[in-house]
A and B are shown apart, each in its own frame.
Chain A
């Protein structure tokens, strides 16, 4: 008799254990499978409107437009820029965000100060060694950088030597200006003979 009651008790325990397991499985699995109704997400302790909110972020206005748009109206600047060492710099990097310029014709910033070039080119020990840098205090006789360098196509390559004498030839642009005998290339900065002679030597 003892053995039989023992046996029954055991079966009893097994059944109770199985039931408990089933309840636990249900309690854990069902809530994971069940979707939370949308109305609860809005009012629950953890509001989950992430898809909607991501849409809100995605619909903010763009201010820096793509630089290829500038080509439509500024072919000349774009043309020389495209082939220059500055072609890695987006137009808007120097002129600021273009959205208002395109939509309302707002004017863009034009900064010809030496500092505006200096943010990239001033000599600093922290910059990569190969990057072209100048001593802002000494380089170019404190003249505006753009009087010697074209901001859209800076070039310091091999400047051709002057094949003619300088006496009587001081007004360079008379012959090398637009419509002259030997006009300078369109991407040249042409602002008087001081600047010409800083690159071109006799």
Chain B
């Protein structure tokens, strides 16, 4: 059979059109088996209350006394290995000398606090201009560099903005550990999967604060809902000058710092 070009295009076009019509009818047919995300897309835009929480975490450097209770509580609450190299949160001591040198240390991640003896041995001969503690944790970025690098899609953001790792999916390749600009991820030596701060997802989903916030004696750690204008975090964001670590990277961190000094990274 000889088909002219014109005929070919005509027949082909009709077939294509038919295919599109059938195909576009499919979503409704498939709804029963499709993923919840896809279903959500077709439903109308949610109202603010339906949208659920959107969390923020605030660290007040001016208040922190470096007792390390948060580091300990985090490890006990989340069953993190007790060795100093595995931490979901840790406390750094910054010492800025009179000749603008910035020294940072975190003995044992700060879990036992910082002792006076240690300070004297290490910094005895220095002219200290100022010194303070900086608690660190995963920043749960809105543009997380760690998520897209995962080759198996095992790390993701929940709709409340919490970055989690699927332990069943993680293959332990450590790409995300490398990608995180804040050193917030590590490989759990027992499970051989990547672990990180979850903002105590099991607590916040039940209305409790993260364990580190619960034990902080001075209120240097505050956790709450950005969408609630009356929450403690919303108030602090309105009333204080807040900053984020390494803003130049553009990760849109959700951990804000009050009293952030230049040179803190």
Contact = CB atoms under 8 A, between A and B. Distances in A.
B218 A90 contact: no
A34 B198 contact: no
B109 interface: no
B173 interface: no
Interface magnitude class on chain A: 35 or more
Contacts of B167: 53
Interface string A55-95: 00111111110110000000000000000001011101100
The 10 tightest CB contacts between A and B, nearest first, are: A119-B113, A35-B38, A46-B153, A35-B34, A60-B202, A126-B131, A93-B215, A89-B217, A53-B166, A57-B201
B67 A63 contact: no
Interface of A: 15, 19, 22-23, 26, 30, 33-39, 41, 45-51, 53-54, 57-64, 66-67, 86, 88-90, 92-93, 96-97, 118-120, 122-128, 131, 135-137
A126 B194 CA distance: 33
A53 B119 CA distance: 44
Contacts of B69: 93, 119
Contact of B73 (A41, A64, A128, A135): A64
Nearest to B168: A53
B205 interface: yes
B116 interface: yes
A37 B154 CA distance: 19
Q: Which of A67, A127, A136 has the most CB of B within 10 A?
A: A127
Contacts, number: 163
A63 B13 CA distance: 64
Interface residues of B, number: 67
A201 B166 CA distance: 63
A126 B95 contact: yes
A54 B164 contact: yes
Given A37-B30, A61-B202, A126-B93, A53 B164 contact: yes
Contacts of B77: 62-64, 97
B169 A124 contact: no
A137 B115 CA distance: 12
A95 to B, nearest CB: 10
Contact of A128 (B24, B62, B156, B166): B62
Q: Which of A88, A122, A135 has the most CB of B within 10 A?
A: A122
29 contacts: A33-B27, A34-B27, A35-B38, A36-B38, A37-B30, A37-B33, A38-B33, A45-B152, A48-B37, A48-B153, A49-B168, A49-B169, A53-B166, A53-B167, A53-B169, A58-B201, A62-B208, A64-B76, A64-B214, A64-B215, A67-B214, A88-B218, A89-B217, A90-B214, A118-B115, A119-B69, A126-B132, A127-B66, A128-B65
Contact of A58 (B66, B114, B202, B218): B202
A90 B36 CA distance: 40
A137 B153 CA distance: 54
Nearest to B74: A64
A124 B201 CA distance: 34
Contacts of A60: 78, 201-202
Nearest to A61: B202
Contacts of A30: 20, 23-24
Contacts of A36: 34-35, 38
A160 B27 CA distance: 80
Contact of B20 (A26, A92, A119): A26
B128 A34 contact: no
Contacts of A90: 214-215, 217
Interface in B83-139: 93-95, 112-116, 119, 128, 131-133
Contacts of A22: 16
